[in-house]
Amino acid sequence: MDTRPILGLTEPIIIYGNNGVTARVVGRIDTGATSSSIDMKLVEKLDLGPMERLKLVKSAAGIKRRPLITVKIKIDGEVMQEHFTVADREHMTYQLLIGQNILKKRRFLIDPHKEV
């Protein structure tokens, strides 16, 4: 039997800020996204950063360079520090997107039927 953690298409995620504040958000699990992304307003609110470098990101909106930061998060009981690109996600449903950079490294399985 496979004992890897199973995530749904959305998951509750805790984000640990550099200013001692934590945020609880529902994040979108996106197996089609190469990298994970976080909303710039959430980055400001939690004083996340500093920017490590700019990363070239291809999306439906085109090709852009986005700031890359390391963020401490907790998913399914596991605390980790992972890379996120910073984007304006205000017009999107989810402030946080978990992509392949985390899913593959942590060996999560995805079950679309799992509910939050």
Residue at 83 is within a domain:
yes
pLDDT at 115: 84
Q: Is residue 44 part of a domain?
A: yes
3 belongs to a structural domain? no
Q: How many domains does the chain fold into?
A: 1
- The verdict on residue 2 lying in a domain is no
Instruction: Give me the domain span that covers residue 49.
Output: 11-109
pLDDT tens profile 60-108: 778 999 999 999 999 999 999 999 999 999 999 999 999 999 999 989 9
Is residue 105 one of the residues assigned to a domain? yes
Residue 63 lies in a domain: yes
**CB of 69 within 8 A of CB of 16?**
no
Q: Residue 4, class by beta-carbon neighbours within 10 Å (0-12 exposed, 13-18 middle, 19+ buried)? A: exposed
Token pair for 18: 């550099």
Question: Which domain CATH number covers 40?
Answer: 2.40.70.10
pLDDT of residue 2: 75
User: How confident is the model over 42-56, as pLDDT tens digits?
Assistant: 999 999 999 999 999
